[in-house]
Each structure stands twice: as C-alpha cells, then as structure tokens.
A = this chain, B = another copy of it.
C-alpha cells in the first residue's frame, strides 16, 4: 500500500510529544482525533505522562505495541529528527512534523531540515512547519489547527492542498460556514519530502475527490507538478490554483533584456494554462470556483438567465456577468409565455432578463414553475437565482424550490444571496446549488465552469521534431549574422543581408539590396548596437559611405574600439513587428511571444509558454499564443489591413521552440526582435536577433 494513501487513511496514529492539556497545541491532535471519532488506534507518546484522555501513553516509539501508519511529531525543531528516526526505524509509513525553525529561519534551520530528511530514510515526511492534514471523508484529523474545534466537518468532494498551514485553517472554517464540502485538506508547508504535486497526484485518483484546490506559494518541482496536473485533467478532475507572490513578479524579472517584460508570475500563468489548471484570481475564488465545479454540471455556453424577486440585486449580478463577457438575453417568446402563465403578479417583469417575479412570485409553486420554464428554455445555458432580503424570514423557500427542480436539467444553477444570510448560503451549497455573496464571485464561478469545457479538450501542446544538424558556432555571444544563421537552421528565415568591411563593399551591397537599406554594426561584443550609434535605417546607396563613416566614428567614440564589420540589410515594410524570445525560469525554459513597438511594450503585450517536456510547442499552441495577445487583431486584418501570415508565424514559433528544446542547456540566451510577420503567404523575417551559446551544456534543458 502506497505511503501517501496510508498517511491519509491511517489505521493507527502515534502522537509523539502529545500533551495531556488539550488547550496546548501539543494537546490538540489527540483531542481532535477523539472528538471527531477516529476509529483506528491512537498512541500518545510522552515519557512524562501515563495516560492522555484515557488512552495509554507510551514513553517512546520503541515501546509502541505496533508500527503506526503515521507518526505526528509535536516536538520542537531540536528534537524532531530523533523522533523521525525512531519512527522510520519502526517502519512507519509517514511522519507529520509540525515544528517550525527550519529553512524558513535561515541556514541553521536549513541544516536541521536536511537532518530531518536523512533521519527519515525511506519513510515519507509531511512538513516540517506543517499544520498537518485532515481526511474529512473518513473523519481523520491529523492536525493541530484550531479550526478543528468545529463540531462537524463540512464533508464533500473538494480536495485542498495548501503550502501554508494558516490558510488551511482559514479555508476549513470558511468552507464549513458556507456549507462547502471538502474531501481532504493537506498543508505541505516546507515540503522537505512530500509536496503539492504528490498530493495532487493522490487526489487525482481519490474516489472522494472531484475537484482539487491548491494554495500555491512556489512550485519546487515543476515537472512533477505538470505530470500530476495532467493526470488530474485526464481523470476529469478540475484543478483550481491560487498563487501568492504575484506582486513580487517585478523583482524576479527575466534575465534577457526584453524578456524582462515577462515576470516569473507570468510563467505560472503559462504552467497553469498548459496543464489545464484554472487560476483563481482572488483568494475567495479558491473556495467559490471549486464549489461551482464540484456540482459536475457543465456550462455549454455564455447565455445566463437571472431569476429574481428583487430588481437591484438582479441588476448587480447581470452587470457582473456582463463584465465577464456573459450574455443575459431576454426570454424567447415561448419561455416568456410559460412564465406569464404562472401569474406571478401585476408588476412582474417576465419578458426581460433579469426575470423579475417580484415579491408576489415568492411562492413555492410559482418559483418551481419559473425555474423549470427557464431551465427548459433553449435560450439559456445556465440559471442564476437571486435570493433577496425577503428570504430572511423563509430561508428554505428558494432553496427548496431549486432543489426540487435540479433533477429536471443538467444545466448549472447558481445562487446569489443578497442580504447577510450565512445559513441560507449553507443550505444552498449543501443542496448542490453553489451560492455566492458577491456578484463578482458568480461571474468567476461561471467563467471557471466555461473554462473547464476547454480543459477537457486541451489541444496537443507539443510535437516531436527530428534532430536538426547545425554547424559549429563560437562560444558565448554570437554576432547578429550568426544568430540569424542559427535561427534559420531551425527554420526561421531572416532578412537578406550582407557582411561588409569597407565602403566599397557597402555600396555594392546597398545597390543589390534595394533603394534603401539598413546599415548596422556587426559585433559579438556589442549587443546594444543602437545605444552606440551602430544602427542606421533607410540609408540610400548614395549616402551609405557617409553613414558608414559616421557610424565608425560614433562607435569608436562610445566603445573605444573601431568597428571592423558591418551588416547591410534589406528594409522590410508592411509587416507586423513581434518579439520571439527564450527565457530560462526556475519553472523551466519558456518561449515568449510579444507584440513589438513601444506602445505594445508599454502595455506589456506578451504571452508565454513553458517548453513542453516532450519536445517543441505544437502549431495549435503557437496559434493559441498569438490569439492571447491583446493586439492579435493587428495580425488578423485589423481595420481593412491585410491578414498577416499567421501560419508562417506559427511555424516560426514551433521552430524557435524546437531550437530551445534541441539545444537544451547549451542555449543561454536567444531572442528575435523584431520578427516581421508579412501579409499572408509572404512568410516571416527575422530582422535582428541575439543568441548566446555554451559549447558544453551546463544546465539541464
């Protein structure tokens, strides 16, 4: 039996350092196990006490009558490793270490944490610095969280993994208050051994779990995360993640000079997107979205009916849904007729949406009739019901009517509760109707339901390409011509150009490359050519001699060295300028696509993908990157402009990502900027670029 399974479903639990005082943190785990009716064996271990709450207390791990499945270690950081060693020696499946004072406190703590791992040997560790876990499905609390003071667990189908212990308490108490049911709740914290991905993997095959919610601070093993997330997706279990650290993104800016436009947080976006993980934007979404997804009802479109008895709140929800690009069309004539037949009152608004039955319509038969009419309508993909202040006196009225009608349809039904009425929210959630107290939460939940239908049909995100032979390149930075030669080996074509060393050669090149050309300094050392006067655009052959002289002097003045080589390039016009770059992030190698030009730069109009584990990005993925750019219309024929050659751009993105995949750790830096995308059928052209290579791969791809 798998150690993680035994950790979450133990038949016996040893509590090392248990206190007889249930008010102390070290007294809580035994107290909670008993309070919530754990049916297995509980072995408190404490040499100073004989019994705790009627349970025999053992002096040490060696004295235990059997090998426990799990050991909860409540000792401080200075002694925890000893208990871990003893548990490991007895063959315990897993230890939960609550002590703090490890990596989070500095180098001495890091040493202790390493000691803990060594002491564990083959035994698995949850923690340290964890608040533990709770298996709500089987009433097994292995935790000291004071949120467990509650009488009954909110049992359900949402599995939660959190990298913070305090957040576990917050989510548990909030879920309980709202009637949102959880299956298992784990705090992984320092993750010396077991991490987020291990538990996501477990929950993906856990029968009690239908949706997985993650509170993420950092992903320590991105590959494992990707594998586990894709396993959950294949199992049809949505994964919802809330990640903190978004505002530190600036500080962790990319190394490459324009890659700096995309911070590391954007890489998390890419990771989540590529693995079908739904990103929760607000902390409250981390319960709201799973609550909606746990109904397993599928949202097939964007047309939402709003049924209300109070105009104000209906408008509020309608507005929030509209901002999230949902539609709230008026009922079709057949549905309006069915609604009118209910005779809900003089001033009911039944031909509009929100459909307002008014206070007069708050009667069980009328409500059922209205709900059934709307659910049966082909006009709507989902129903949002408003619960108004009038329900305070009859909390069950709306919930009862909805519950009666739910079996008639498989469309999503959600509720917005307008007054402060936590008991109504709880009743609705418990009856399978996700209920929200913020209009924006209704929109976030429906949005996630819509996204889930996409996840089930994730396009192939990677493709394998046979290795491409490339010539020898010098070590370190390539010059611009070499960089473009490298890109073209993989299939990204460049502007026509010639390397020249003197005025005569420059004139010949200028004459052959068109009426006007670009003249550039060519150098492996100087990457920021324009800053030293090393770029001249729109030069005619008549004045190329003068411009070359000028450039020579300017570069020499700025760098102290006279340039020896220049590049004469054709001028490109009529295309859309993009940036295509590579950037190495702690989460993996990334491919960045961005719109070029200063305006797009100010709007940070970029998108990113992690290099797939299996090879290059697929053509589908390349197209999905383009469509994510806010300036995608510029590629798609904006305002009568010709459509750009997006097919060639997709091929270039695939080719560039294949280069990154094939070169692996040998590639240090690479960027094409600008990449001109010409009108459809005319291809793309790299007009400038940089590349830095190691001769030997020093970093894993």
- The interface of chain A, by Cβ under 8 A from chain B, is 25, 100-101, 104-105, 145-147, 149, 162, 164-167, 169-170, 173-174, 176-178, 215, 217, 244-248, 282-284, 310-313, 315-316, 318-323, 346-347, 349, 358-359, 388-390, 392-393, 418-422, 438-440, 595, 597-600, 602-603, 630-631, 633-634, 638-639
B-side contacts of A438, CB under 8 Å: 282-284
Q: Please tell me which one of the listed residues B173, B246, B421, B633 contacts residue A323 in the complex, with CB atoms under 8 A apart.
A: B246
Within 8 Å by CB of A105, from B322, B347, B392, lies B347
Residue of B nearest to A148 (CB): B389
Could you tell me the distance in whole angstroms from the C-beta of A435 to the nearest C-beta in chain B? 14
Distance in angstroms from A535 CB to nearest chain B CB is 13
Cβ A315 vs Cβ B247 within 8 A: no
Question: A100 touching B347 by the CB < 8 A rule?
Answer: yes
> For residue A311, which residues in chain B have a CB less than 8 angstroms away from its CB?
104, 164-166
Determine whether the beta carbon of B392 is less than 8 Å from that of A147: yes
A419 touches B599 (CB 8 A): no
Closest to A102 in B: B347
B418 near A315 with CB under 8 A, answer no
Q: How far is the CA of A313 from the CA of B439 in the complex (A)?
A: 24
Q: Do the beta carbons of A599 and B248 come within 8 Å of each other? A: no
Contacts A169-B419, A170-B419, A319-B245 given: A638-B149 contact, CB under 8 Å?
no
Q: Is B315 touching A217 in the complex (CB atoms < 8 A)? A: yes
A438 to B390, CA, bound (A): 27
Which of chain B's residues has its CB closest to A215's CB? B312
From B146, B597, B633, give the contact of A392 (CB < 8 A).
Answer: B146
Within the complex, which residue of B319, B388, B393, B599 is in contact with A600, where a contact is CB–CB below 8 Å? B599
Q: Which of B162, B173, B246, B388 contacts A166 (CB 8 A)?
A: B388
Bound Cα distance A149, B460 (Å)? 58
Contact B162 A312 (CB under 8 A): yes
Inter-chain contact B390/A440, CB cutoff 8 Å = no
Question: Which residues from B are CB-within-8-Å of A312?
Answer: 162, 164-167, 170, 215
A630 to B602, CA, bound (A): 7
**Contact between chains at A248 and B392 (CB < 8 Å):** no
Chain B positions within 8 Å of A421 at CB level: 173
Q: Are A149 and B393 in contact (CB under 8 A)?
A: yes
Q: Please name 18 further chain A to chain B contacts, defined as beta carbons within 8 Å, in addition to the given A149-B393, A245-B319, A599-B603, sorted by A numbering.
A: A100-B358, A101-B347, A104-B347, A147-B392, A164-B312, A164-B315, A165-B311, A166-B418, A169-B310, A170-B312, A170-B389, A170-B418, A173-B392, A217-B315, A247-B319, A247-B320, A595-B599, A602-B634
Residues of chain B within 8 A (CB-CB) of A178 are 420
Q: Which residue of B lies closest to A641 (CB)?
A: B598
Is B419 touching A173 in the complex (CB atoms < 8 A)?
A: yes
A418→B167 CA distance, assembly (Å): 8
Shortest CB distance A187–B (Å): 9
A396 → chain B closest CB, angstroms: 16
Contact: A316 with B598, CB < 8 Å?
Answer: no
Q: In the complex, A25 Cα to B393 Cα: how many Å?
A: 13
- Measured CA separation A41–B419 after assembly (Å): 31
**Complex alpha-carbon distance, A245 and B323, angstroms:** 9
Please, which residues of chain B bring their CB within 8 A of the CB of A603? Answer: 599, 603, 630
Name the residue of chain B whose CB is nearest to the CB of A438: B284
Q: Quick one: given A173-B419, A247-B319, A438-B282, are A167 and B599 in contact (CB under 8 Å)?
A: no
The answer on a CB contact under 8 Å between B316 and A167 is: yes
Q: Which residues of B contact A318 (CB under 8 A)?
A: 247
Instruction: Find out whether the CB atom of B146 lies under 8 angstroms from the CB atom of A389.
Output: yes
User: Closest CB of chain B to A620's CB: distance in Å?
Assistant: 24
- In the complex, chain B residues whose CB is within 8 Å of the CB of A599: 595, 597, 599-600, 603, 631, 634
Please, which residues of chain B bring their CB within 8 A of the CB of A104? 311, 347, 349
The 5 closest A-B pairs by CB, nearest first: A247-B322, A164-B312, A169-B389, A166-B310, A166-B312
Q: How far is the CA of A174 from the CA of B284 in the complex (A)?
A: 17
5 A-B interface contacts by CB (under 8 A): A25-B359, A104-B349, A164-B315, A170-B313, A245-B315
> What's the minimum C-beta distance from A471 to chain B, rounded to whole angstroms?
36
A346: chain B residues at CB < 8 Å are 101
| Residues from chain B with Cβ under 8 Å of A322 in the complex | 246-248
Give the CA-CA distance A80 to B422 in the complex, in Å.
Answer: 37
* Inter-chain contacts of A418 with B (CB < 8 A): 166-167, 169-170
Q: A388-B166, A599-B599 are in contact. Are A420 and B347 (CB under 8 A)?
A: no
B contact residues around A602 at 8 Å (CB): 630-631, 633-634, 638
* Pairwise interchain contact B246-A319, C-beta atoms closer than 8 A: yes
Complex interface: chain B residues within 8 A of A247 (CB): 318-323
Chain B proximity of A104: nearest CB distance (Å): 8
Nearest residue (CB) in B for A633 is B602
State the CA gap A70–B175 with chains docked (Å). Answer: 46
In the complex, what distance in Å separates the CA atom of A280 from the CA atom of B162? Answer: 31
User: Residue of B at shortest CB range from A394?
Assistant: B146
Is A283 touching B316 in the complex (CB atoms < 8 A)?
Answer: yes
B419 touches A147 (CB 8 A): yes
Please give the distance in Å from A420's CB to the nearest CB on chain B.
4
Nearest neighbor of A418 in chain B, beta-carbon distance: B170
Q: Per a CB cutoff under 8 Å, which of B166, B245, B319, B633 touches A313? A: B166
Most buried by B among A248, A311, A321, A597: A311
- CB A504 to nearest CB in B, in angstroms, measures 29
Min CB–CB distance A441 → chain B (angstroms): 10
Known: A247-B319, A595-B599, A598-B639. A393 touches B146 (CB 8 A): yes
Q: Is the CB of B440 within 8 A of A147?
A: no
Contact A173/B358 with A311-B166, A319-B246 known, Cβ cut-off 8 Å: no
A145 to B359, CA, bound (A): 12
List of B residues within 8 angstroms of A101 by Cβ = 346-347
Q: How far is the CA of A25 from the CA of B634 in the complex (A)?
A: 58
Q: How far is the CB of A541 from chain B (nearest CB, A)?
A: 19
Question: What are the residues of chain B within 8 A of A598 when measuring CB–CB?
Answer: 634, 638-639
Bound form: Cα–Cα A634–B603 in Å: 12
Is the CB–CB distance between B440 and A282 below 8 Å?
Answer: yes
Cα-based distance from A310 to B131 in the complex (angstroms): 11
| A347 partner residues in chain B, CB cutoff 8 A | 100-101, 104-105
**By CB atoms of chain B within 10 A, which of A176, A440, A595 has the most?**
A440
